[in-house]
DNA sequence: TTGTAAGCGTTATCAT
DNA sequence: ATGATAACGCTTACAA
């Protein structure tokens, strides 16, 4: 097993010097540094995380979490994943501080980012709103050396180290393929969409429409916008269904599943409509139990949270950079039976 | 942060004494032990895995793996999961030794267990054959203090510490529910089953049949046995389909998916038959691309392997017992789009 | 029965 | 620019 000590001995220098070389702390003669690096490569030295973790206990890294999860049950599982990982890693000296907010209020999210910056977090896990100012704020943090993971949503032009979440385009494609499986070659589709400020929702719709090109008998008759609000979802869906009585399929792009389903039930259309929706929140599961929804698409929210924390741990405590920039969880299809 | 040192100081004893109490090494006066234990509970002491890992580097634990994976592509992903976890944990001093075998040869598996026992593995990850002698061999290892995880298959009357795998009964139920979703209320089903020596296969069929009770229009017309062999699967399926031309659905319980599908194609029945099968091995994915299979059920094989190693790591290196006895991965439904 | 001290690998501080 | 040393939390051989 190759350790710093061994490298030091073989190079005829001290452990301190090797450490300085390995971590680029400077104050080392270039030739010495080169000799050390050669030895490191030759022996394939890998730092021991246990040693690192132990030594790192002096300056306990603190990870900030910002989620627009208030009033959105989908995030409950993400939070559970984050907290599970935290309880596993806190013994290594990692601390967690969580901030929750509601909806897509850019100012509010910027304020939270500021707040965490002032606490000097060394890592940030955030479900960012898709807005240039957010991207800029994140970039500023990254430039200051903070390790940033975007979770569940990503932002354009953002230099975060990692994105952890689902492939939204693929989610839309999968939704369309599923609808085809359930209905055959024809469907008159009503779309219920959420917010433009979630990039993912746009991508999902794009994916759905792209996949539709393979099925000439599929057509979108109308679109309702619910802004992820259940009441609004109920009303807009109802209106859409009344105005377009020949709609036989519903594609619910994001939140507001319960409201949309209630609208379907209130019109007594639950037997005639094929509905494709996302995420197994309790109210959605309720609708599955009632048979209104036969199937949903699931994005491993628990895994998303756990993975995000794990990446922060590996980086901040073990000093291991993420292997990839994007960690994509699969879109899964769920029936009541395999929830 | 509460450490052994702090406990020792507060109790007015030495660190060595606390260590002896915590790890039940004896040679401690009962009253001292009690005082220490009280303090430990009061402060909620948790050992620091980094410290443990570091100190444990003298006696590197070795984990043995036995898989009947030869010629069964399903195990490839399990192995990838095991190896990924190993590469992450080897720096903590954990070593891995893998033995592969083919099929359900009890004697062969017993011999491999013996072999690993003679190497003095401290952990064993095994996909056990469902046989009493195997159960007994595993029990003997457990009694000797080996940490045993059954992966993918479980055995009756076996005292392994953990089972990691899917819920087979639920897999059968899900398969039936899926078939109902695809075909509506009636189906004339042909069953293609694998081996009686895999407990899981039995359970899946049970689950399928139980779920069938909810659908009066479903009936099983015939059953073919393929012993997980592709050639046999081809022949038996073909024979079954010829003898029962009114079969409109195929439930493939385990291996031999490719052979069964080839039989379907050779009879030009791929347009008429609805097939439900398990696992996304390359040949199965091929059949999905050809449109013979529209959908399969997936059991997170990579996760199974990773989780099994993780449990061994937590136990052997960090001295943390598993929280549960069974780690069940969900049965997922896959289309070509979300593979 | 209990305490002491060294060691696991890395990092930080201080001295040179 | 480099080295020596202590510290992180835990285990263990040895001393008392």
Chain B residues in contact with A185 (beta carbon < 8 A)? none
Please report residues contacting nucleic strand D, using a CB cutoff of 7 A.
A 12-17, 20, 26-29, 32-33, 51, 54-55, 57-58; B 1, 3-5, 15-16, 19-20, 22-23, 47-48, 50-52, 54-56, 58-59, 319
Strand order in the sheet with A249-252: A218-225, A187-193, A249-252, A274-278, A296-298, A332-334, B332-334, B296-298, B274-278, B249-252, B187-193, B218-225
> What is the rounded average pLDDT of the residues A303-332?
92
Task: State, as a whole number of angstroms, the distance between the CA of A47 and the C1' of C10.
Answer: 8
Q: What pLDDT shows up at residue A252?
A: 97
* pTM for this predicted structure: 0.91
CA atoms within 13 A on the CB side of B5: 3
Tracing tokens 């050639």 back to the chain, one arrives at: B231
Helices (H) and strands (E) in chain A, counts: 13, 12
Task: State, as a whole number of angstroms, the distance between the CA of A17 and the C1' of C9.
Answer: 15
Query: Which among A23-37, A312-326, B106-120 has the top mean pLDDT?
Result: B106-120
If one counts every other C-beta atom within 10 angstroms of the C-beta of residue A85, the result is 22
From A242, A328, A237, A325, select the one nearest A287 (Cα to Cα). Answer: A237
Angle at A244 between CA A242 and CA A245, to 5 degrees: 70
Task: State, as a whole number of angstroms, the distance between the CA of B18 and the C1' of C3.
Answer: 11
Q: What pLDDT shows up at residue A195?
A: 78
Q: What element of type H or E holds A70?
A: strand A62-70
Q: What pLDDT shows up at residue B321?
A: 87
Q: Report the percentage of chain A scoring pLDDT > 70.
A: 100
Alpha-carbon span A253 to A220, nearest angstrom: 13
Alpha-carbon span A46 to B45, nearest angstrom: 31
> What is the rounded average pLDDT of the residues A213-231?
93
> What is the rounded average pLDDT of the residues A168-193?
96
The overall average pLDDT reported for chain A is 93
Across-strand partners of B193?
B225
**pLDDT tens-digit profile of B51-103?**
888 887 767 789 999 999 998 899 999 999 999 999 888 877 788 999 999 98
Instruction: Say how many residues make up chain A.
Output: 339
pLDDT at A236 over 80: yes
Q: What pLDDT shows up at residue B227?
A: 85
pLDDT at A49 over 90: no
Q: What pLDDT shows up at residue B1?
A: 78
Q: Report the percentage of chain A scoring pLDDT > 90.
A: 75
**pLDDT tens-digit profile of A242-301?**
999 999 999 999 889 999 999 999 999 989 899 999 999 999 999 999 999 999 999 999
- E strands in chain B: 62-67, 95-100, 123-126, 147-151, 162-166, 187-193, 218-225, 249-252, 274-278, 296-298, 326-329, 332-334
Residue B215 forms contact with A (CB below 8 Å)? no
Q: How far is B319 from chain A (nearest CA, A)?
A: 13
From A76, A2, A67, A97, select the one nearest A40 (Cα to Cα). Answer: A2
Q: Which of A166-180, A186-200, B137-151, B302-316 is predicted with the least confidence, judged by mean pLDDT?
A: A186-200
Residue A338 forms contact with B (CB below 8 Å)? yes
Q: Which residues of chain B have pLDDT under 70?
A: 58
Q: What pLDDT shows up at residue B316?
A: 86
Q: What element of type H or E holds A66?
A: strand A62-70
Protein CB footprint (7 Å) on chain D nucleotides: 1-14
Q: What pLDDT shows up at residue A315?
A: 87
> What is the rounded average pLDDT of the residues A43-65?
85
pLDDT at A317 over 90: no
Tracing tokens 């052979």 back to the chain, one arrives at: B259
Backbone angles phi, psi at B326, to 5 degrees: -120, 130
């Amino acid at each position: 097993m190759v350790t710093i000590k061994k490298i030091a001995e073989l190079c005829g220098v001290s452990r301190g010097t090797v450490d300085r070389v390995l971590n680029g702390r400077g104050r080392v003669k270039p030739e010495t540094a080169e000799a050390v690096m050669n030895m490191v490569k030759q022996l394939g030295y890998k730092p021991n995380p246990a040693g690192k973790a132990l030594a790192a206990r002096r300056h306990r890294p603190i990870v900030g979490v910002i989620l627009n999860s208030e009033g959105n049950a989908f995030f409950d599982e993400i939070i559970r994943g984050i907290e599970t990982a935290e309880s596993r890693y806190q013994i290594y000296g990692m601390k967690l501080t969580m901030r929750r907010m509601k909806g897509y209020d850019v100012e509010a999210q910027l304020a939270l980012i500021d707040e965490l910056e002032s606490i000097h977090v060394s890592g940030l896990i955030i479900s960012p709103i898709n807005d240039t100012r957010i991207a800029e704020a994140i970039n500023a943090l990254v430039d200051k050396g903070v390790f940033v993971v975007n979770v569940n949503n990503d932002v354009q032009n953002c230099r975060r180290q990692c994105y952890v979440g689902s492939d939204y385009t693929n989610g839309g494609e999968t939704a369309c393929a599923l609808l085809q499986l359930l209905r055959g070659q024809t469907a008159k589709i009503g779309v219920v969409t959420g917010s433009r400020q979630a990039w993912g929702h746009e991508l999902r719709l794009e994916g759905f429409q792209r996949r539709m090109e393979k099925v000439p008998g599929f057509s979108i008759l109308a679109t309702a916008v619910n802004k992820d609000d259940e009441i609004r979802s109920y009303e807009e869906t109802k209106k859409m269904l009344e105005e377009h009585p020949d709609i036989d399929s519903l594609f619910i792009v994001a939140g507001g599943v319960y409201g949309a389903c209630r609208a379907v039930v209130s019109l007594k259309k639950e037997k005639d409509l094929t509905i494709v929706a996302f995420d197994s929140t309790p109210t959605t599961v309720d609708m599955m139990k009632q048979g209104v929804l036969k199937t949903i698409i699931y994005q491993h929210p628990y895994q998303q949270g756990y993975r995000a924390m794990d990446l922060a741990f590996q980086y901040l405590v073990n000093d291991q950079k993420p292997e990839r920039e994007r960690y994509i969880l699969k879109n899964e299809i769920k029936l009541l039976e395999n929830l």
